[in-house]
Structure 1
């Protein structure tokens, strides 16, 4: 049911691209309304199950509270859709404008793994903000299994976000990403170390992932670790390892490649 809900959400976010092909200006409101009604029913039940999972479903009183809370959370979740749709529209245009191989915005909606991943993320993030258990991670992992892009639902991502190619991208729970950020395949926004509690276990929820400011570009294979800040307009070259903050408009790259000739015994 959760996968069905995600497909319905995709139809709502991009009417006419997924689901019935006969959507037009005259029936789009009906189309979207019908899909939203079904999403509301599914999500109410899925949220209820998630809440009951935490209380083991053993206490009838708590389960009644779970049902009431699930209805409220599902309603609030649906009110977030207009903003999610607005953000996704900026992501689609970022993909189209940022990739010379993109023939049209339609192509990015239908074909680009980064658009699929950010669609799931923006939906999962709203559930995460509402403190809905389990479901946000399930939605993120569904996109991960399809695209190879692993975005924790807790990550905060601004508008005009573009992941090109995408395979191997990892974005951690407490990462904060500004507007107009572009990243390529194999990029990691991860944690360098974990603060530990008195029992030696990692303290959950502590800020430990990078802050990426507006208009930063991170090329393939780069690894950005720890609660550091990449300043506005920074460009991080491929396969660079970054563990310190950078000022705005920085350029980070590997040392120049060393070239030697082995022709006629050279280099021996």
Structure 2
């Protein structure tokens, strides 16, 4: 049997209804995985300036870049936090999202301190490691730990 694109589309639409697994605005509009991926990359740029950038960051640019990144991160993050909170509390999620966001952002300097200890432990545990910078650049688990530490703070705060 030969299918038409319209028939295939109708079958897929029927599966959305029958099977679920659809994020839509009829119920709760959950956070977007793509938006969260983007936020994770922004967090890594913020936590490890220069290591997730296409060009080096000069010291005299660092304050401006950090402030700009913080503002961009806050704008995008608040929306995703609000979507997460609306699952449990649809009516009061907007103001709570801002509170959670600000508490979270306020912990990032402390998260960087914890990451420093993670990087140091990796460096001291690997006799072939040459520098802390090598650990940040070459050891993918550092990125995973960084995101996990941020996720833990968000869980605790919200």
TM-score range, shorter chain: 0.7 to 0.9
Larger Rg: 1
Instruction: Determine whether 1:97 maps to 2:124.
Output: yes
Check whether the contact 1:2–1:42 (CA below 8 A) recurs between aligned residues. Answer: no
1:74 to 88, 93, 101: 101
Corresponding residue for 2:75?
41
Question: Is contact 1:44–1:71 with CA below 8 Å preserved after alignment?
Answer: yes
For residues 114 and 92 of structure 1, the distance between their equivalents in structure 2, rounded to whole angstroms, comes to: 10
Per-residue CA deviation, residues 81-130 of structure 1 (Å, 9 max, x unaligned), is: 11001111121111112101212211111121221221111101110111
Higher strand proportion = 1
Instruction: Output the CA distance in 1 between the equivalents of 2:76 and 2:93.
Output: 15
Deviation at 1:20, TM superposition (A): 4.0
C-alpha separation in 1, matches of 2:100 and 2:121: 31
Structure 2 regions of 5+ residues with no counterpart?
1-34
**Root mean square deviation of aligned Cα:** 1.3
Supply the distance in 2 between the matched residues of 1:71 and 1:31 (Cα, whole angstroms).
Answer: 22
Distance between the aligned counterparts of 1:96 and 1:21, measured in 2? Answer: 25
Which 4+ runs in 1 deviate beyond 2 A? none
1:207-256 CA distance string (max 9 Å, x none): xxxxxxxxxxxxxxxxxxxxxxxxxxxxxxxxxxxxxxxxxxxxxxxxxx
TM-score w.r.t. length of structure 1: 0.44
Q: Which has the higher contact order (CA 8 A, sep 6+)?
A: 2
Contact map agreement 1:96 1:104 (CA 8 A) in 2: yes
CA contact 1:84–1:123 (8 Å) conserved in 2: yes
SS of the residue 1:27 aligns to: helix
SS at match of 2:110: helix
Give TM-score, length-normalised by structure 2. 0.73
- 2:113 maps to 86
